[in-house]
Structure 1
Amino acid sequence: MAKDPAPSETASPATAERPAPPGRAAPSPRRAPAGAAVLREEKTAAIRAAVFAELAAVGFGRMSIEGIARRAGVGKTAVYRRWRSKLHLVLDVVTALAAEGMPVPDTGTLRGDVRMLLEVASRALRHPMAAQIIPDLLAEAARSPEIAEALRGALHDSQESMTRTMVAHAVERGELSPDVDVRLALDLITGPLYWRVVVLRGDLPKGYLDELAAAVATALGAR
């Protein structure tokens, strides 16, 4: 017995045509509205993962929709149904990453909060994939205002929001003055770590994060 064909990714269930009551014309069958395609989440997740892998392997300039589709195990049409170009795909993935963020550290002291944030950031920056992707995207940002804006959200705005909350907690505890500069705090927290890990690509000496957290707290005038 022949099996019914499997529904395609974009197939939408159609409403069966109902018989017309006596004396009335048969109604037209209802159709799903145009553009109401059903996109399978597992394919979307596979494509997103493939984007990170392709960025790390070949960089944005050489990355292609064909390569992403091949790595994700889907057809090119599956990618184009979701994003109209590789630029929009990368922007979406970067923006989604920024939205995820991380919980704001709340250890009870500014030094402890900074130390925890540095630990998480250092692990992320030292990940082999991040070590390839971040410098490449920063280079592309110099040529693409759209990428620059997305990276600002992923690498700056989210961190600034977290730092602002950390500083507010420290002010409430009486550790910091209310007029402390949040942007200066962010520079002091992230600048040395980014320089050491991403620019110099060096190992972190034992106790480095503890010393850096203490230096940041002291520089901000923590009591």
Structure 2
Amino acid sequence: MLREDVTDAIRSAVFEELAAVGFARMSIEGIARRAGVGKTAVYRRWKSKLALVLDLVSAVAAQGLPVPSTGSLYGDVRALLEVASHALRHPLASRVIPDLLVEAARHPEISEAIKSALLDKEKGIAAAVVREAVARGELPEGTDPDRALDLIAGPLYWRLVVVRGDLPAGYLDDLATTAVAALTRDRTT
């Protein structure tokens, strides 16, 4: 039977190793050293560093972001932006996510894991936010949850992951207001 404390130590070491050296330079030896275990402990759990990273991406995504339920579209969008910005600014995540996105271009398996684990989860959250807003009469029937996700999260990802810029005071409030305005604009024009 595999010890859960060892598995947890290995998972933590993977994040630290990814942040320190990136996927391309990451090694099972380095992970084992950081975790304070032998390489065999890692290989008992995962057959390769790719399998380990794919499992880790899925495990983190399973924890996911909560579906906000504030009673208003603006409140839900603002809450979602707050939680997402906190996650994206985490010291390890801010180094690991850009590296994994680069590796996704080289490894279809990583690309698919990111898509199914992260994007699909976020699409589910956006769909719930849209569904609730439609039920409250804040959005028209037929509002596209994918477009809503693009409008809500796209600018935040751009700023924090691509540009790697800071969030000025009021940025999340302004972004929430802008996203809600775009989602609720009169579709007949």
The two structures have a TM-score, normalised by structure 1, of: 0.81
The 8 Å contact of residues 54 and 67 in structure 1, kept in 2 or not, is answered as yes
User: For residue 209 of structure 1, what is the amino acid of its counterpart?
Assistant: L
Stretches (4+) displaced over 6 A: none
* Structure ranking higher in helix proportion: 2
Percent sequence identity over aligned pairs: 67
2:68 aligned residue: 105
The 8 Å contact of residues 91 and 150 in structure 1, kept in 2 or not, is answered as yes
**Larger radius of gyration, structure 1 or 2?**
1
Deviations 1:90-135, CA, capped at 9 Å, x for gaps:
0000011111112200000010000011011111111221111111
For the pair 1:202 / 2:160, whether they are aligned, the reply is no
Deviations 1:14-36, CA, capped at 9 Å, x for gaps:
xxxxxxxxxxxxxxxxxxxxxxx
1:179 aligned residue: 142
**Greater RCO between the two (CA within 8 Å, min separation 6)?**
2
> Once the 2 structures are TM-superposed, how far is the Cα of residue 155 of structure 1 from its aligned partner?
2.8
* C-alpha separation in 2, matches of 1:222 and 1:102: 27
SS of the aligned residue for 1:81 comes to helix
The 8 Å contact of residues 60 and 137 in structure 1, kept in 2 or not, is answered as yes
For the pair 1:86 / 2:86, whether they are aligned, the reply is no
SS of the aligned residue for 1:178 comes to coil
Deviations 1:149-194, CA, capped at 9 Å, x for gaps:
1111233111000000010001111111111111110000111111
* C-alpha separation in 1, matches of 2:51 and 2:161: 26
The two structures have a TM-score, normalised by structure 2, of: 0.95
* C-alpha separation in 2, matches of 1:177 and 1:63: 48
* C-alpha separation in 1, matches of 2:94 and 2:64: 18
Matches within 5 A, 1:38-187: 38-187=1-150
Q: How many residues align?
A: 186
Unaligned 5+ runs, structure 1: 1-37
RMSD: 1.2
* C-alpha separation in 1, matches of 2:89 and 2:167: 10
Farther-moved stretch of structure 1 (63-72 vs 192-201): 192-201
Deviations 1:45-96, CA, capped at 9 Å, x for gaps:
0001100000000000000000000100111110000000000000000011
The 8 Å contact of residues 110 and 170 in structure 1, kept in 2 or not, is answered as yes
Unaligned 5+ runs, structure 2: none
